[in-house]
Amino acid sequence: MRREASTPRPGWQQKLEELGFTYYMLEGKAYWTEQACYVFTADEIDEIEAATEALHDLCLKAVEHVVSNKLWQRMRIPPTWGDYIERVWRRTDPTIYGRFDLAYDGKSPPKLLEYNADTPTALYEAAVVQWYWLKDIKPDADQFNSIHEKLIEAWRGILRRLAPEALVHFARFEDQPEDLATSEYLRDTALQAGLAGKPIAVPQIGWNGKRFTDLDEMPIQVMSKLYPWEWMVREEFGAHVLTDSTAFLEPAWKMILSNKMLLPLLWEGFPDHANLLPAFEQQHSDLGNAYVKKPIFGREGHNISIVAPGLFDTAGGSYGAEGYVWQAYHALPVFDGNHAVVGSWVVEGKPAGIGMREDERRITHNNSRFVPHYFEPGGSS
């Protein structure tokens, strides 16, 4: 694994905009860069792929453990939601996608930092934008990226479970470019799979006393939402979900996996697993003097603190009211002063590709740069 300097394509901004990828600058800083790329060997990609598959399997076992033992209080999920989550889980309501964030340096096994299982973004740039970069810059190279094809296949699987007239609504915040792109891209793949899709802004979702509705007063049967479950649970319309006449993507059992309490739960169930870091509900002697404190319901790196000898880094925010978990500190690899994290995509439960993010800071956040990647045959880079 290495970071390689790369010459940007002539007119690269226009190329990105032609793809609809307009948010390559965020808050005045580059979000997409092609002045560099990450290079892997095929063996390294195999290792990431295998770790992703293994971690997803562990996560499914964790969901079963939580549901079977009704660990709602521990997960900070209202117990009134327990029956609903169990019902959705038992009838195997489908999942489309999720993204593991992994610490990986090509030398030691990938380590799970967190699972963005409910509302992952950076999807379009991983599935499509970096693919076009590869075709332009390294047409003979490979990229770990079958996200697009797997998304379409996942939607086809959902189509087979729905009535022919079924319509999927895609709910998101339309003033957030990244959210809009992710949701529209999902809708595009659903359409390519043969489903009908209709966009709606999250605040426009209606409730008519019986059903969730769109602006045409049309009942919403299936809702692909880019809005966190833990927020929906506590909002005014949250209780209506429990009547269970609308199906959600991602399903409510993802509330267990997008929850940082998953990390200590996994460590309890599978201690010393090669792809896990020690994690606990409170400070623990096994953490030594180097740990990362993460809010149970936190996003985009907010309210994360890193504590290690000679090191303290923290990111502000408004999360943490539900408590924190403590995870052993595992330094991200640094390339040319950039801390690199692997976002490993899972589509319909299977590894589907990666997107690389990097930042000068140790805490990856919403605007951390997306950097394309490719891989070479063989075992060393």
Provide the minimum distance between the beta carbon of 126 and other proteins in the complex, in angstroms, as a whole number: 11
Candidates 9, 23, 30, 42; binder of other proteins (CB under 8 A) is: 42
- Is 9 a binder of other proteins (CB under 8 A)? no
Q: For the window 177-206, what string marks contact with other proteins as x by the rule CB under 8 A?
A: -xx-xx-xx-xx--xx---xxxx-xxxxxx
CB 125 within 8 A of CB 32: yes
- Is 285 a binder of other proteins (CB under 8 A)? no
Residue 204 or 314 with smaller CB distance to other proteins: 204
Candidates 221, 270, 307, 348; binder of other proteins (CB under 8 A) is: 221
Integer Cα distance of 234 and 242 in angstroms: 12
Site for other proteins in 314-333 (CB under 8 A): 317-319
Residue 8 or 219 with smaller CB distance to other proteins: 219
- Is 336 a binder of other proteins (CB under 8 A)? no
Site for other proteins in 11-40 (CB under 8 A): 18-20
Residue 139 or 337 with smaller CB distance to other proteins: 139
Residue 84 or 308 with smaller CB distance to other proteins: 84
Residue 106 or 197 with smaller CB distance to other proteins: 197
Residue 30 or 239 with smaller CB distance to other proteins: 239
Candidates 27, 140, 165, 272; binder of other proteins (CB under 8 A) is: 165
Provide the minimum distance between the beta carbon of 139 and other proteins in the complex, in angstroms, as a whole number: 10
The total of other beta-carbon atoms located within 10 Å of residue 173's CB is 15
State yes or no: cis peptide before 184, omega within 30 of 0: no
Residue 209 or 309 with smaller CB distance to other proteins: 209
CB 13 within 8 A of CB 24: yes
Candidates 33, 41, 213, 259; binder of other proteins (CB under 8 A) is: 213
Residue 35 or 92 with smaller CB distance to other proteins: 92
Candidates 13, 137, 219, 242; binder of other proteins (CB under 8 A) is: 219
Integer Cα distance of 241 and 247 in angstroms: 9
Residue 116 or 338 with smaller CB distance to other proteins: 116
Reference 251, options 319, 161, 321, 341; nearest CA is 161
Provide the minimum distance between the beta carbon of 299 and other proteins in the complex, in angstroms, as a whole number: 5
Site for other proteins in 224-263 (CB under 8 A): 226-228, 231-232, 234-238, 240, 244-247, 258
Site for other proteins in 107-146 (CB under 8 A): 116, 118-121, 124, 128, 131, 135, 142-146
Candidates 28, 217, 310, 380; binder of other proteins (CB under 8 A) is: 217
Partners of 308 in the β-ladder: 311
Half-sphere exposure of 281 toward its Cβ, with a 13 Å CA cutoff?
A: 8
Per rule CB under 8 A, count of chain residues that contact other proteins: 101
Provide the minimum distance between the beta carbon of 338 and other proteins in the complex, in angstroms, as a whole number: 20
Residue 217 or 272 with smaller CB distance to other proteins: 217
Q: For the window 55-94, what string marks contact with other proteins as x by the rule CB under 8 A?
A: ------------------------------------xxxx
- Is 167 a binder of other proteins (CB under 8 A)? yes
